[in-house]
Amino acid sequence: MRAEHAGYACGAALGFLGDLVAGDPRRGHPVAAFGRAAAAVERRLWRDDRGRGALHTALCAGGTAAGAALLNRAVRRSPAASVALTAAATWAVLGGTSLGREARAVGGALAVGDLDVARERLPHLCGRDPQALDGQQMARAVVESVAENTSDAVVGALVWGAVAGVPGLLAFRAVNTLDAMVGHTSPRYRRFGWASARLDDVAGFPGSRLTAALAVLAGPDRRGAWRAWQQDGASHPSPNAGPVEAAFAGALGVRLGGTLAYGGRVEHRPVLNGGTGRPVAVADIDRAVRLSRRVSALALAATVTGRLTAGALRRSRTAGRSK
């Protein structure tokens, strides 16, 4: 058991380092392959029906978890293979480096006043309609996306990896990807995507709270981050994006939320940190990326420590019962 937990810690650290150094490949990414498979299943199953959507979610997310469990079982007798599998899975599910790279690409275009390039790159980060946004609104959208995806693309996966190893890593990423594909409230997916959206809310809960807590700890304004999280986090329509975006807003001293446009649909969301925050500036994009990186590194340390501690406690209880 000690070797298993130490192997996970080593593999997770190596996978995190792999994402930090290399980021996501431009072609052949495992998450993209999962997305194509899930889309193929959707074409077979789609009906305007919650039951069909639940079956789609069960097949795609459950199949991923089951496959990962079989892989994990196949390598468990080889410490080196187990570390390699954990490292590969961690690298595959993390997206922190690509998140920062895309955010800075939009920020760079905004900094030189090239709104056309910024609008072209923004959809790589979020589903906003870039044609409906000016420069300041795009900067705000980038900061919000960095905050939310720090939880979705990094911290949440590390939390479930610490809880359930490789199956937890891959299953969380599968659930998060399904939510991005079918979990929105468009007419096509309002019923079919319901199960994916609700499962993503449940799976993302612990990671979002840890992300918000670490943003308080690592942010330049800890008091502001805590205040904004407590005052405004629950007002966001997403139960998981709210705490994270509010904590980032308070930590950076900016206002997030407000009027958003998604594919022609306009939403009026509550303003986060509206009492003391200022409008987002282009320079805040780089500040948000740096905060995201600090939060991600702390999340790796916290989750690995938590898994090693849990393993040590189980060994202690087992030793106590055997006496």
What is the pTM for the complete model shown? 0.93
pLDDT in tens, 301-311: 999 999 999 87
Tell me: pLDDT of 11 over 60: yes
Distance CA 219, CA 294 (A): 9
pLDDT score at 320? 64
Tell how far CA 152 is from the center of its chain.
1
pLDDT score at 131? 86
pLDDT in tens, 219-260: 999 999 999 999 999 999 899 999 999 999 999 999 999 877
Tell me: pLDDT of 56 over 60: yes
Please report, for the chain, the start and end positions of each structural domain, with discontinuous segments joined by +: 2-322
pLDDT in tens, 121-167: 999 898 888 888 899 999 999 999 999 999 999 999 999 999 999 99
Average pLDDT taken over every residue of the chain:
93
Contacts of residue 224, defined as CB under 8 A and 6 or more positions apart, other chains included, come to 250, 251, 253, 273, 276
